[in-house]
Structure 1
């Protein structure tokens, strides 16, 4: 499953919509997607959403779409 993870780069500041970023990640479950991001970054995760079907196809058309892969 592909997940879109909305996050703030800094955990010390209050979240602001203008500073929200997103990354795309493949993981078996939302819980595992969260664990991967938490283990490999200092990001403040706001929201994680599963994307598939037409939504995934739409996101993949964006030139900034890129699956993030973390190495152990």
Structure 2
């Protein structure tokens, strides 16, 4: 399993505005699995990145670090 950081907007129908970008963390095998997990939410996904090594360690220090489990 890997941890992915997902950058998104809350409304799929709105134009992406960087200042409105939200993030969530999802544990999954692949980026495709993350997208399937989130498909029922009305998210406009900007970008998904796999977190590894020092980058993952840095993100874990954030108060907002809460990982959802993709199924």
Fold match (TM-score > 0.5): yes
Corresponding residue of 1:31: 32
SS in 2 for 1:10: coil
TM-score w.r.t. the length of structure 1 is: 0.89
Q: Which 4+ runs in 1 deviate beyond 2 A?
A: none
TM-score w.r.t. the length of structure 2 is: 0.90
Corresponding residue of 1:13: 14
Unpaired runs of 5+ residues, structure 2, are none
Unpaired runs of 5+ residues, structure 1, are none
- Does residue 50 in structure 1 map to residue 50 in structure 2? yes
Cα shift at 1:69: 3.6
Task: Count the aligned residue pairs.
Answer: 70
Would the aligned equivalents of 2:7 and 2:47 in 1 still touch at CA under 8 Å?
yes
